[in-house]
Each structure stands twice: as C-alpha cells, then as structure tokens.
Chain A
Amino acid sequence: MSDISGTGNAANEADEGRLDPREAARLLAQTRWRAQRGLDFRSPWLSLLAAAAMLVGFGAIWLSVRGQHPYEGPTPVGLVGLYAAVLVRIASVIYAHRRATEGVTGRSVQRRQAEGAALAVALIVVYVVMAALAHAGASDGVVYGVYVSSATLIVLGTFGAARAAAREDWPSLGLSTAVMLVASGSAFAGPRGVWLSDGVGLCVVLLGYGTLQAWRRHASGSDA
C-alpha cells in the first residue's frame, strides 16, 4: 500500500491557525497522553488477564500434585492447564504488542528481538539445569517442584527488572522485583505448596500492578 502517493498539497488553512499558549499546553498534554497510551501495549486489562492466567495455570498444577505422597511432579492434566494458561498469556501479549507497535520501525524493534533471544536462552538453561539435577539424583520434589517453578520465575523477574531499570520504568521494576520475591518466598512452601503460593502471589502482584496502571492512566488522563 502506498502511504502518501496522490495526496497533493491540500493543507487546510484552518490548521495553520496559531494557538493561545493555554490551549497549546492543553493540546500538547492531550497529544502526549494519547500517543503514549496508543504506543504502549500494556494495559490494566492485560494485567487482569495475566493475573487470572497465573492463578488458573499454577492452580491446575497444585490441584494435580496436592494429594501426591510421595511427591512425583505435575500430572499431564495439570501441565495441560498450565500450558493453556501460559498460551493465553503469550497470545494476549502478542496481540496487544502488535496492535501498539503497528507502523513502528527502528532500533527498539531490533532491541526487543535481541532481548527475546536472550530470554529464550535463559529459560532453556533453566530446563537444562533441571535435567542435570534429575541426572544427579535430586528428588522429584526439588526437580519438578521447588526448582522448576522458582527458577523459571526468578529468571523472568530478573530479566524484567533489568529491562525496566534500563528504561527507567519504575512500576515495571516494582512488578519484576515482586515476582522474584514471590518466587523465592514460595520456595519455602515445599514442592506442593510452591505452586499454590506462586499462583496466589503472582495473581495478587499482577492485580496490584493492574490497579496501579489504571490509576496512573486515570491521573494522566485527567491532567491532559
């Protein structure tokens, strides 16, 4: 599709009209707010969906392991629940991201691709170490319970915190730090309890983050 072919030079004379400074300040604030909102894929609704997905996903695993004595690890049914919830989360983020960044090109696109590749490697490393722990004779409770849930979330939290700090995005830094704290604290709940603790903890953290996003949007919208 041609972007600007055949547009001519038909500038509306009314658009050349100068502004009163007060009106200009209002238009500037309003335009900035709209642009930032339009270009940012994050939203309170996305956080709410993530909170529900984490509660359902980790809850499904917890339901599948809570009656196991001795602990054997998540059942196929539990894993299907977790993977379905994770897929919903990933699909919703991809949809929102594509919508927000439509028409955007440049360095940030390449930076995001590099960050995605680094995160994928880090997550693969978590599962390689999990295999090494199983090979070394670690118990199922450690390998398929405490380690896999905590290590995955700590990697995601560390990645998010580093990314947020580099962008001076303090609410996201708070979210990522909270994810790491939930993951490390939940590790003390044991191989069965870790799943429930992670699910509830992440749900609360994401709901708090979503509420903060909604409040900030409302506040900046009122200012604009």
Chain B
Amino acid sequence: MSAAGIDPVIHVPARLQIVATLAALPEGDALSFTRLQNMIGLTPGNLITHLRKLEDVDYVTIEKTGSGPASRTAVALTHRGHAALDLYTETLRGLLNGL
C-alpha cells in the first residue's frame, strides 16, 4: 500500500498521538507538558524532541512561563496544525477507501 501524499511530519506514531490529543482541546486552549506526557505515555525526552519537530513546521506552539521549579510549559495546536491534521485524516480516508 502506498502512503504517498501523507504528511511525513504527522505520519509518525508519537507525533500523530500528540497532534490528535491537542486537537481534542477546545479552540484557543493549551495543555501542560506534564498532562500531555501523561495522556500519551512518552518519556519527557521523547516528547520534547517530537514537539520541537512539530514546532519547526508551525504545527504547535510551545510556551514556557516562569522559571526554575515553578516553570510551566503549555503546548497548543496552531491553525496550521489543525489544517494539517484535517488534511492527513482526509488523505488516510482516501487511501483506505481505495483498498
């Protein structure tokens, strides 16, 4: 089966889980790094690496507030990230219907 046309940034298990989880939030909301990690079950190192890859293509925003032990990191899906997930879902549907 060909996976041509599928967004290679999202088409990775960990990043697909990150994007799909963030897409479940109401528009304009963000999720803390810790809660996202708990929901997906990745190690902190894995999660931050995948998040940086998603941030590089402007699919997520990562906002850190405070410093030291009191710091908080909030992650949110951008409009571009939402659109990419919609397109990815449509492409997958097309591929599966063509089987």
Contacts and interface: CB of A to CB of B under 8 A. Distances in A.
Given A21-B92, A28-B89, A39-B24, A103 B43 contact: no
Nearest to B72: A3
Contacts of B76: 106
Interface residues of B, number: 52
A31 B20 contact: yes
A105 B46 contact: no
Contacts of B29: 104-109
A15 B16 contact: no
Nearest to B20: A31
A113 interface: no
A22 B94 CA distance: 11
Contact of A11 (B16, B26, B35, B46): B46
A25 B39 contact: no
B92 A107 contact: no
A212 to B, nearest CB: 20
A109 B34 CA distance: 18
A36 B70 CA distance: 28
A108 B25 CA distance: 9
A3 B71 contact: yes
Contacts of A106: 25-26, 28-30, 76
A222 interface: no
A20 B92 CA distance: 10
B48 A4 contact: yes
Given A18-B8, A31-B21, 16 more contacts: A3-B32, A4-B47, A10-B43, A11-B49, A11-B50, A19-B11, A19-B16, A22-B96, A32-B23, A35-B39, A38-B39, A103-B34, A106-B26, A107-B26, A107-B28, A109-B29
